[in-house]
């Protein structure tokens, strides 16, 4: 009986770990597809679409001091409704009609982990 419990517990733990890893990979894929063009693959604000003609630099997610000033609600709002929703750049597009609530929350978690 105890061998069964141990085996089942280990299998469940491995399965949950795989789900967590898959979710992290999904968050990265969403970021890479929708955000990295401006914010950069590392979140440093140096994406391939950024030119000297941009009116403002995209947010650098790697600076912990700056990111700590941003609430989760503000980040969710800007992802869903775009920059103007929180008096920021209109170059930040709204993704609320494109991304699910789970994807927005996943992006928030992924962005928070970039802060150093």
DSSP-assigned letters across all residues of 85-103: GGT--TTS---TTTS-HHH
The CATH number of the structural domain formed by 25-114 is: 1.10.760.10
Per-residue pLDDT, 22: 53
pLDDT, mean of residues 13-39: 74
Per-residue pLDDT, 25: 75
Instruction: Please state the separation of Cα 116 from the chain's center in Å.
Output: 15
pLDDT, mean of residues 93-108: 97
% of the chain beyond a pLDDT of 70: 79
Per-residue pLDDT, 116: 82
pTM for the full predicted model: 0.77
At 48-92, the pLDDT tens digits run 999 998 889 999 999 999 999 999 999 999 999 999 999 999 999
Judged against a pLDDT cut of 60, whether residue 113 lies above it is answered with: yes
Count Cβ atoms within 10 A of the Cβ of residue 14 and give its class: 0-12 exposed, 13-18 middle, 19 or more buried: exposed
């Amino acid at each position: 009986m105890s061998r069964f419990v141990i085996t089942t517990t280990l299998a469940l733990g491995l399965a949950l770990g795989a789900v967590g890893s898959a979710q992290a990979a999904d968050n990265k894929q969403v970021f890479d597809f929708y955000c990295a063009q401006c914010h950069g693959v590392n979140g440093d604000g140096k994406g391939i679409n950024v030119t000297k003609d941009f009116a403002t630099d995209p947010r650098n997610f790697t600076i912990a001091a700056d990111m700590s000033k941003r609430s989760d609600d503000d980040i969710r709002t800007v992802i869903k409704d775009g920059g103007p929703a929180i008096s920021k750049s209109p170059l930040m597009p709204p993704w609320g009609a494109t991304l699910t609530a789970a994807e927005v929350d996943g992006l928030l978690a992924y962005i928070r982990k970039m802060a150093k």
